[in-house]
Amino acid sequence: MNALGRHLLVELYECDREALNDLDLIRDVMVKAAIDCGALVLGSSFHRFSPQGVSGVVVIAESHLSIHTWPEFGYAAVDVFTCGTSVNPEKAAEVLIDKLGSKNHSTMEIARGVLVTV
């Protein structure tokens, strides 16, 4: 079996609450995570909610990274979806864990586009 992509679901708890509400910081960290994992950034879109929270996506040639934050809970949900073998999605997760100050986190990987060859 071969998979076309790897999809990391990253749960970030006990994060820096101010960081989770800072649109510019979130955008910069997400783009850094994409670059540091070896991806080619094609574009991004981010939005800050009122009274709090940020959602955004970084589109990469290899798929995407997305984030949704709940500063009031110190929590962020992150997806790192990559295709091909030239990127390391775990590196992107490491950058986000570090830069958002997560003291408690977990990662689940899902193989996407699993193809069975005959």
Q: Give the pLDDT confidence of 70-109 residue by residue, as tens digits.
A: 999 999 999 999 998 899 999 999 999 999 999 999 999 9
| Tokens describing residue 114 | 């699993």
Write out pLDDT tens, residues 2-30. 889 999 999 999 999 999 999 999 999 99
| Residue in 69, 63, 71 with CA at minimum distance from that of residue 112 | 63
Write out pLDDT tens, residues 24-58. 999 999 999 999 999 999 999 999 999 999 999 99
| Tokens describing residue 58 | 């970084």
Chain centroid offset of residue 93 CA: 6
Residue 4 contacts residue 85 (beta carbons within 8 Å): no
Structural domain of 68: 2-115
Give me the active site residues, please: 63, 68, 83
pTM above 0.85, yes or no: yes
The CATH code of the domain that includes 53 is 3.60.90.10
85: which residues sit within 8 A by CB, 6+ positions away? none
- The total number of structural domains that make up the chain: 1
